[in-house]
């Protein structure tokens, strides 16, 4: 039984419309025209490639970008929960700004600060991605104190080569912003200073310089020393300099893809390698305490049986631990069985891996990593293979 019906223009609007049901069920692609029925719990995702709008090359069939903006503006304000617009113009951005139920908004095109400044009325928006060479950041400053600023959790700036870091400081009082990503744009001390203005709420930063430009280790060291997780790497302030290079390595395409390693992330659909029991399973906190009190460093793998990436990472960790023999102890902690683990280590998600020496944290990383990366990080920490 339908819970509601959303009326799209009879002539339709270009793009892809997908209906999915929260909690399960296969996504269903729909035509974005006429009445679209939604059952209870179902939501709509809208994807548009307008890079070929008005007869340009690429994208979908040529269409009038202004006409699309007009059609979007006429939709109910709760039509979509996710919208991804490539080739976005200011007119399209202003139109999609009327979607007050959006949780994720991805914009790529030649829009300007004028368009971004119109995004202030989105009380449900948690994830915002902005990619435009004409965007300077002044549009972000215009969002200060808005409903959008109050709800935003993650902000991604990509290829925003005209971006001026001082505009980021305007969002420093955003109450829920915990994640910042900068991709393909200058990353210097001025940007680092603007990022640090978001402490203590900010938890993680991902940075990747423009192609051909290496990341400055001093900038990454500054971010790590402030307690931020940078490119999936965290380290205590006294180890920030050591692991700045690791954070820079994690940003390189070859490292991220693991092209020189076995397909440990399973992107090609291969089954996860089987675990061999090399890592000692720990459930009780006092058992871990006894291991940490010893002279041998301990690598702690925080995992869960329902976590897909964990299934690929754990065997890689087993190989790394096994290669170090008695010089490293490996531990696996199922956070579902060991309820104390996430709170103790301040971990929000799995997989997360920590190296501890004499009970003190040396470094940590989250997500899947290659054997080569793990070996390098352990070597940096002074735990080399036999």
Instruction: List active site positions.
Output: 307, 310
Residue in the block written with tokens 């449900």: 124
Sign of the alpha-carbon dihedral angle for 353, 185, 257, 85: positive
Strand 42-49 vs strand 82-88: parallel, antiparallel, or unpaired?
parallel
* 137: alpha, beta or left? (left if phi > 0; alpha if psi -120 to 50): left
Instruction: Report which DSSP code applies to 262.
Output: -
Angle at 132 between CA 127 and CA 136, to 5 degrees: 90
Provide the token pair at 377. Answer: 């990080």
- Is residue 86 within a helix (H) or strand (E), and if so which, with residue range? strand 82-88
Provide the token pair at 190. Answer: 């001025």
> Do the beta carbons of residue 124 and residue 101 sit within 8 Å?
yes
Strand 16-21 vs strand 42-49: parallel, antiparallel, or unpaired?
antiparallel
Provide the token pair at 212. Answer: 């051909």
> Do the beta carbons of residue 351 and residue 342 sit within 8 Å?
no
Q: 284 in helix, strand or coil?
A: coil
DSSP string, 5-71: EEEE-TT--SSEEEEEETTS---EEE-SSEEEEEETTEEEEEEEE-TTGGG-SSSSS---HHHHHHH
Q: Find, among 142, 116, 9, the residue nearest to 68 by Cα.
A: 9
Strand 2-8 vs strand 127-131: parallel, antiparallel, or unpaired?
unpaired
DSSP string, 69-105: HHHHHTS-TTS-SEEEEEEE-HHHHHHHTT-TT-SEE
What is the Cα–Cα distance from 350 to 344, expressed in whole angstroms? 14
What is the Cα–Cα distance from 151 to 174, expressed in whole angstroms? 8
């Amino acid at each position: 039984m339908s819970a509601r019906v959303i009326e799209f223009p009879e002539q339709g609007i270009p793009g892809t419309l997908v209906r999915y049901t929260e909690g399960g069920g296969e996504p269903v692609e729909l035509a974005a025209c006429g009445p679209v029925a939604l059952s209870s719990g179902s939501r709509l995702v809208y994807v548009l490639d307008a890079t070929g709008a008005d007869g340009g090359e690429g994208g979908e069939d040529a269409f009038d970008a202004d006409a699309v903006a007009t059609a979007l503006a006429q939709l109910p304000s709760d039509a979509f929960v996710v919208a991804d617009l490539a080739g976005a113009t200011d007119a399209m951005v202003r139109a999609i700004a009327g979607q007050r139920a959006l949780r994720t908004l991805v914009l790529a095109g030649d829009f300007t600060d004028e368009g971004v400044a119109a995004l202030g009325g989105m009380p449900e928006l948690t994830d915002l991605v902005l990619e435009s060479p004409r965007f300077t950041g002044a549009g972000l400053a215009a969002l200060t104190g808005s409903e959008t600023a109050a709800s935003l959790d993650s902000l991604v700036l990509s290829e925003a080569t005209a971006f001026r870091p001082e505009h980021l400081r305007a969002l420093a009082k955003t109450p829920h912003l915990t994640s910042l990503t900068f991709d393909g744009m200058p990353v210097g001390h001025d940007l680092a200073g603007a990022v640090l203005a978001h402490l203590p709420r900010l938890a993680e930063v991902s940075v990747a310089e423009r192609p051909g430009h290496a990341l400055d280790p001093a900038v990454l060291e500054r971010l790590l020393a402030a307690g931020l997780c940078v490119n999936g790497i965290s380290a205590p302030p006294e180890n920030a300099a050591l692991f700045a290079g690791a954070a820079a390595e994690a940003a390189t395409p070859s490292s991220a893809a693991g092209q020189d390693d076995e397909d440990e992330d399973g992107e090609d659909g291969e089954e996860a390698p089987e675990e061999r029991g090399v890592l000692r399973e720990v459930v009780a906190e006092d058992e871990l305490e006894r291991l940490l009190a010893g002279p041998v460093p301990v690598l702690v793998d925080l995992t869960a049986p329902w976590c897909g990436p964990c299934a690929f990472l754990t065997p890689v960790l087993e190989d790394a631990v096994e290669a170090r023999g008695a010089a490293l102890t490996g531990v696996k902690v199922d956070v579902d069985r060991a309820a104390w683990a996430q709170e103790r280590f301040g971990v929000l998600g799995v997989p997360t891996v920590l190296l501890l020496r004499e009970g003190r944290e040396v470094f940590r990383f989250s997500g899947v990593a290659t054997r080569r990366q793990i070996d390098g990080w352990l070597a940096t920490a002074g735990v080399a293979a036999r």
